[in-house]
C-alpha cells in the first residue's frame, strides 16, 4: 500500500468538504492577556484573542505563574514517573484535596486532561460494572462518547436535555440493571445548560448513578467556582463531577470528584490513569493556586459575567444574531461554512481579531458560527472593535440581521 497516497487522499476529502483545520500560529503574551503574537509567512502581527477557553485569564494570573515557577524551582520539570512508580508529587496530593473540597466530595483523582478523565472513568465503569447501562445525552463531548464506547457496555442515547425522552428510556430499561446517566452542565457550542436537578430526580427514581461534566463551568459558576451544580446547591446529588484544569483554571489536566470508594476504584482499574506519566508538579501547583484563588474571590467571575452581558448588548444594538443562552459562551450565528471561514480570515488579517470559525462536524451544517468567549480582561474598546468589525463584515456578506 502507498501509505502517504492514502493519507493525502483522506486529507483531500477534508479539504473538499471544507473541514480541513488550519491552526493559527500564536504566542500568548504574558501579562498582556488577551493579546497574542501571530506568526505568518509575512512576519508577525499582534492580535486580540476572542475564542480562548482560558475564560478568566487565570493562565496569565501572576498567582498561578509564580506558583508554577516556584514548583519548577523546587521540584524540576517533569513528574518523573506514573503515579504508582515514583511520579506522585506532593503537589498532586494537595491538588486532589483541593478538588475534593471544591466539590464537597470525599475524594478526587487527577488525570492528564479532561478528555482522559472522561474517557478513562466512563470506560472503566462501563467495562467493570456487570450489566451497566449508560444513558448518554446526545450532545455529550467526544471524550465521553469515546469512553462509553470503550467500556463496551450497553449505551442508550437520549435526546439532548430532553427529560421526557430520558425518562422514557430509563423506564424501558431492565429495572434490575445498574444504570448511569452521563451529561454536561454547560454545553460548549450552544452554551445551553442542562436541567441538573430534574436529571438527578430521574436518577433517584430509577436508581441510577449520575456523571456530570462541568468542564465549561468549573471556576466560573457557584460562589466558590464549583460549577453550575454548586450554584444550584446540587453537588451532593451527583455521583461523579468531572472537570478540567485547562479552561477557567488556566492550566492543564482533568479530574473527577466522587466518593472515596469510587475514586479508589478508578485509580486502581483505569488504564488511562495508571499507565501514563503523572502531570508535571508545576501544573499541579499552578492549578492549586488558581482553584484557591477562585474559591475565595468573586472578582473574576463577576467581571466575566459583566463582559459577557456587554458583548451581547453591543451585538444586539447592531443586529448581529447570536444564540440566546444562559452561559458565558456567545455563539454568533453565520449559518454558512464558507462565509464563516471568510469572516474569520478577514477578522484576523484586517482587524487583528482572532475568532476560530466553528464548522461541521463540530456543529450541524447551516449552524456554522463564531464562538466568542469574552473574558474579564477584554476592554470596552476591544468589545467595540469586535462588534464594529462584525457589523462591517455582516454588510459585506449580506448576512441577515437579528430583529430587536
Ligand X SMILES: Cc1ncc(COP(=O)(O)O)c(C=O)c1O
- Which amino acids are annotated catalytic? 247
Q: In the β-sheet with 179-184, what is the strand arrangement from edge to edge?
A: 107-111, 254-258, 240-244, 208-213, 179-184, 133-137, 154-158
Helix axes 281-296, 62-75, angle to 10 degrees: 150
E strand or H helix at 173:
none
Q: For the CB of residue 248, give the shortest distance to ligand X in the complex, in Å.
A: 11
Question: Which C-beta is closer to ligand X: that of 286 or that of 321?
Answer: 286
Q: For the CB of residue 397, give the shortest distance to ligand X in the complex, in Å.
A: 28
Phi-psi bin for 5: left (phi > 0), alpha (psi -120 to 50), beta? alpha
Cell of 14: 477534508
State which of positions 245-274 bind ligand X (CB under 6 A): 246, 254
State which of positions 145-174 bind ligand X (CB under 6 A): none
Question: Which C-beta is closer to ligand X: that of 206 or that of 354?
Answer: 354
Q: For the CB of residue 89, give the shortest distance to ligand X in the complex, in Å.
A: 20
Task: Give the x/- contact pattern for ligand X in 322-361, rule: CB under 6 A.
Answer: ----------------------------------------
The reply on whether position 215 binds ligand X by CB under 6 A is: yes
Phi/psi of residue 254, nearest 5 degrees = -135, 175
E strand or H helix at 370:
strand 369-372
Q: Are 337 and 359 in contact (CB under 8 A)?
A: yes
Q: Which of 2-10, 107-115, 163-171, 274-282 is the region at the interface with ligand X (rule: CB under 6 A)?
A: 107-115
Cell of 73: 524551582
State which of positions 39-68 bind ligand X (CB under 6 A): none
Question: Which C-beta is closer to ligand X: that of 216 or that of 339?
Answer: 216
Cell of 251: 492550566
Q: For the CB of residue 3, give the shortest distance to ligand X in the complex, in Å.
A: 29
Question: Which C-beta is closer to ligand X: that of 246 or that of 374?
Answer: 246
* Binder among 96, 98, 137, 213 for ligand X (CB under 6 A): 213
Q: For the CB of residue 335, give the shortest distance to ligand X in the complex, in Å.
A: 22
Question: Residue 394: which residues within 8 A CB-CB, separation 6 or more?
Answer: 318, 319, 320, 401
Q: Are 254 and 116 in contact (CB under 8 A)?
A: yes
Question: Which C-beta is closer to ligand X: that of 143 or that of 356?
Answer: 143
Phi/psi of residue 305, nearest 5 degrees = -65, -35
Three-class DSSP category at 216: coil
E strand or H helix at 23:
none
Q: Which of 70-78, 209-217, 356-364, 373-381 is the region at the interface with ligand X (rule: CB under 6 A)?
A: 209-217
E strand or H helix at 114:
helix 114-128
Of all residues in this chain, which one has the CB nearest to ligand X in the complex? 114
Tell me whether residue 202 is exposed, middle or buried, using C-beta atoms within 10 angstroms of its C-beta: 0 to 12, 13 to 18, 19 or more. Answer: buried
Q: Which of 108-116, 127-135, 360-368, 394-402 is the region at the interface with ligand X (rule: CB under 6 A)?
A: 108-116
Total residues interacting with ligand X, rule: CB under 6 A: 14
Q: Which of 23-31, 67-75, 208-216, 233-241 is the region at the interface with ligand X (rule: CB under 6 A)?
A: 208-216
State which of positions 179-198 bind ligand X (CB under 6 A): 184, 188
Question: Which C-beta is closer to ligand X: that of 183 or that of 206?
Answer: 183
Start-to-end CA span in the chain (Å):
59
Question: Which C-beta is closer to ligand X: that of 288 or that of 390?
Answer: 288
CB-hemisphere CA count at 13 Å for 391? 12
The reply on whether position 375 binds ligand X by CB under 6 A is: no
d(CA 282, CA 291): 14
Q: Which of 110-118, 230-238, 274-282, 336-344 is the region at the interface with ligand X (rule: CB under 6 A)?
A: 110-118
The reply on whether position 244 binds ligand X by CB under 6 A is: yes
Q: For the CB of residue 192, give the shortest distance to ligand X in the complex, in Å.
A: 12
Q: In the β-sheet with 353-354, what is the strand arrangement from edge to edge?
A: 26-28, 35-40, 43-49, 353-354
State which of positions 112-141 bind ligand X (CB under 6 A): 113-115, 118, 141
Q: For the CB of residue 136, give the shortest distance to ligand X in the complex, in Å.
A: 12
Q: For the CB of residue 142, give the shortest distance to ligand X in the complex, in Å.
A: 8
Residues that bind ligand X in the complex, under the rule CB under 6 A? 113-115, 118, 141, 143, 184, 188, 213, 215-216, 244, 246, 254
Amino acid at each position: 500500500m502507498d501509505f502517504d497516497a492514502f493519507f493525502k487522499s483522506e486529507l483531500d476529502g477534508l479539504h473538499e468538504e471544507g473541514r480541513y483545520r488550519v491552526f493559527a500560529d500564536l504566542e500568548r503574551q504574558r501579562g498582556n492577556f488577551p493579546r497574542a503574537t501571530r506568526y505568518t509567512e509575512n512576519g508577525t502581527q499582534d492580535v486580540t484573542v476572542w475564542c480562548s477557553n482560558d475564560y478568566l485569564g487565570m493562565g496569565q494570573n501572576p498567582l498561578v505563574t509564580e506558583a508554577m515557577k516556584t514548583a519548577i524551582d523546587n521540584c524540576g520539570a517533569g513528574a518523573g514517573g506514573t503515579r504508582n512508580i515514583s511520579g506522585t508529587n506532593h503537589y498532586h496530593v494537595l491538588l486532589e484535596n483541593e478538588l475534593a473540597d471544591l466539590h464537597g466530595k470525599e475524594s478526587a483523582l487527577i488525570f492528564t486532561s479532561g478528555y482522559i478523565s472522561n474517557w478513562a472513568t466512563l470506560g472503566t465503569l462501563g467495562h467493570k460494572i456487570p450489566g451497566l447501562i449508560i444513558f448518554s445525552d446526545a450532545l455529550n463531548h467526544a471524550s465521553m462518547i469515546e469512553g462509553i464506547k470503550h467500556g463496551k457496555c450497553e449505551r442508550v442515547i437520549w435526546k439532548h436535555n430532553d427529560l421526557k425522552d430520558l425518562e422514557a428510556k430509563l423506564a424501558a430499561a431492565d429495572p434490575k440493571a445498574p444504570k448511569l446517566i452521563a451529561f454536561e452542565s454547560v454545553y460548549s457550542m450552544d452554551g445551553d445548560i442542562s436541567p441538573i436537578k430534574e436529571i438527578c430526580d430521574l436518577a433517584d427514581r430509577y436508581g441510577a448513578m449520575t456523571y456530570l461534566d462541568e468542564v465549561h463551568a468549573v471556576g466560573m459558576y457557584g460562589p466558590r467556582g464549583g460549577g453550575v451544580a454548586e450554584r444550584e446547591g446540587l453537588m451532593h446529588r451527583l455521583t461523579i463531577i468531572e472537570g478540567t484544569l485547562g479552561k477557567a483554571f488556566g492550566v492543564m489536566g482533568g479530574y473527577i470528584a466522587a466518593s472515596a470508594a469510587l475514586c479508589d476504584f478508578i485509580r486502581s482499574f483505569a488504564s488511562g490513569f495508571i499507565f501514563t506519566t503523572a502531570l508535571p508538579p508545576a501544573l499541579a501547583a499552578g492549578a492549586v493556586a488558581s482553584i484557591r484563588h477562585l474559591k475565595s474571590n468573586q472578582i473574576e467571575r463577576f467581571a466575566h459575567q459583566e463582559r459577557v452581558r456587554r458583548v451581547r448588548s453591543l451585538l444586539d444594538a447592531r443586529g448581529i444574531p447570536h444564540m440566546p443562552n444562559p452561559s458565558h459562551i456567545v455563539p454568533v450565528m453565520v449559518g454558512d461554512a464558507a462565509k464563516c471561514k471568510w469572516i474569520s480570515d478577514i477578522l484576523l488579517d484586517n482587524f487583528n481579531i482572532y475568532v476560530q470559525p466553528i464548522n461541521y462536524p463540530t456543529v450541524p451544517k447551516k449552524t456554522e458560527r463564531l464562538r466568542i468567549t469574552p473574558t474579564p480582561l477584554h476592554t470596552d474598546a476591544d468589545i467595540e472593535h469586535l462588534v464594529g468589525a462584525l457589523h462591517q463584515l455582516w454588510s459585506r456578506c449580506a448576512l441577515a440581521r437579528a430583529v430587536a
